[in-house]
């Protein structure tokens, strides 16, 4: 029951994160949209801004994401992100709704 509740909560947070990022001009989301079984992570880029710069800016707001090619260098190269990779954000058991909103707001301010 606890595991199921955590999965449902992660799915809700992931859905909000995807929806919020999708609404920001210049954000490109990668992967399968939320729904069904999947890990609660989102990979994205922000047009014209290096993924490392996005990650550092968000860290300055207390939102910690990772960036890079995540062992998918070929995919990054084919998609044109060989140099800067992607930003990856995840929804863990301890992630709060406020943190998701701060992440979305931080990306919106950069866009």
Q: pLDDT (tens digit, 9 = 90+) per residue, 8-45?
A: 888 899 999 999 999 999 999 988 888 777 788 899 99
Return the closest-CA partner of residue 53 out of 89, 84, 24, 88. Answer: 84
pLDDT at 2: 55
CATH number where 44 lies: 3.90.1150.10
Q: pLDDT (tens digit, 9 = 90+) per residue, 39-70?
A: 888 999 999 999 999 999 999 999 999 897 77
Domain total of the chain: 1
Distance, CA of 106 to CA of 111 (rounded, Å): 9
Residues spanned by the domain of 103: 2-110
Return the closest-CA partner of residue 17 out of 98, 111, 109, 110. Answer: 98
Distance, CA of 58 to CA of 74 (rounded, Å): 26
Which pTM does this prediction carry? 0.85
């Amino acid at each position: 029951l606890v595991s199921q509740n955590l999965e449902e909560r992660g799915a809700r947070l992931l859905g909000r994160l995807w929806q919020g990022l999708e609404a920001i001009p210049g954000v490109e989301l990668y992967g399968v949209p939320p729904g069904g079984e999947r890990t609660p992570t989102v990979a994205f880029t922000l047009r014209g801004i290096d993924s490392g710069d996005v990650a550092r800016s968000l860290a300055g707001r207390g939102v910690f994401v990772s960036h890079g090619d995540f062992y998918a260098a070929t995919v990054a190269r084919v998609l044109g992100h060989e140099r800067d990779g992607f930003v990856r954000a995840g929804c863990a058991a301890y992630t709060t709704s406020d943190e998701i909103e701060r992440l979305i707001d931080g990306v919106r301010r950069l866009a």
